[in-house]
Amino acid sequence: MTDYEEIGDRWIKQAVHDLQIAEKNLSIGGFDSAAFYSHQSVEKMLGADLGIRALHPKNP
């Protein structure tokens, strides 16, 4: 695994963690915090996806 892949893996793990925090906040009525952490999770997943795609571009 390259350094970039390890970084991508860490981003994915953090995104999953953020989503879990969002779910916990949602269950206790913390809607503003749930929205914030959900948004953070999506941004981190997209960032990880873009990084992985940059490392492994498909042949046209």
Q: Dump pLDDT digits (tens) for 36-54.
A: 999 999 999 998 888 777 7
Chain centre distance of CA 7: 12
pTM, two decimals, is 0.82
Domain ranges in the chain are: 3-54
Residues in the chain: 60
Q: Report residue 38 as tokens.
A: 């959900």
Q: Report residue 34 as tokens.
A: 């749930």
Over the stretch 3-47, which tens digit does the pLDDT of each residue have? Answer: 777 888 999 999 999 999 999 999 999 999 999 999 999 999 998
Q: How confident is the model at residue 59 (pLDDT cuts 50, 70, 90)?
A: low
